[in-house]
Copies of this chain bind each other. A is one copy, B any other.
Amino acid sequence: MDLYTYYRSTSSYRVRIALALKGLDYRAVPVNLIRDGGEHRQASYLALNPQGRVPTLTTDEGEQIIQSPAILEYIEERYPDVPLLPTDPLARARHRSVAALIGCDIHPLHNVAVLNRLRSLDVGEEQVMAWIAHWVGEGLKAVEALIGDEGYCFGEPGMADVYLLPQLYAARRFNVPLDSYSRILRVERLALAHPAFHTAHPDAQPDKPE
């Protein structure tokens, strides 16, 4: 498998965690979103991913899959060892509710394309930061109410954690206060000490600038 990835892309980071938790080998292909106006906008990348975003997964058969939620479900179905989802449908839904809340209602509102669009509307930098804090805060408050009292989000590391850790990395990058989320902070402490989450972290990526 090849994973087209950018070190601090939230959605690339999700896929890296899943691959690391499952112990799967893959080739990381860095896509620099900054250099030369963004390698994700070049024709060679658009041929793989018509949306022009990271990540993209190339399967062992040479097929491309775009969008991290689709990539994650594919990896889970294709490589079921070390499952990211439990077997009971309701327990699976608990993980996916947290995943979707983060993947739909938090992250898309502060990705780089949206922030640049806001800036183009003459929204000042202070208001852009308040926009980020609003959506991250409102979303994490709901996540805090949904997750459990012990271990990772729902006990063992799983799909909910795959989404939560990258979101927390982004929250810290934007200085969003996290002190009131004691369950979330418990999960973060556990994950940051876990080798798979460590391997997948932006700071551990070869394409991170010096």
Binding site for B on A (CB under 8 A): 50-53, 59, 61, 63, 65-71, 73-74, 77-78, 89-90, 92-94, 96-97, 99-101, 103-105, 107-109, 114, 117, 121, 123, 127, 131, 134, 139, 141-142, 145-146
Bound CA–CA A146/B66 (angstroms): 10
**Given contacts A78-B89, A127-B121, A134-B117, A69 and B100 within 8 Å (CB-CB):** yes
A93 CA to B56 CA, complexed, in Å: 12
Contacts known (A92-B74, A104-B108); A97 close to B145, Cβ less than 8 A: no
A176 to nearest B CB, angstroms? Answer: 16
- Quote the shortest CB–CB distance from A50 to chain B (angstroms): 4
Give this chain's copy count: 2
Interface centre among A97, A123, A141, A145 (most CB of B within 10 A): A97
State the main secondary structure of chain A at its contact with B: helix
B96 touches A70 (CB 8 A): yes
In the assembled complex, the Cα of A127 lies from the Cα of B117 at a distance in Å of 11
**Looking at the complex, which one of B70, B93, B108, B139 makes contact with A105 (CB distance below 8 Å)?**
B108
Given contacts A104-B104, A121-B131, 10 further A-B contacts (CB under 8 A): A51-B142, A59-B90, A65-B97, A67-B101, A69-B69, A70-B96, A73-B96, A103-B104, A109-B109, A117-B134
A42 to chain B, nearest CB (A): 16
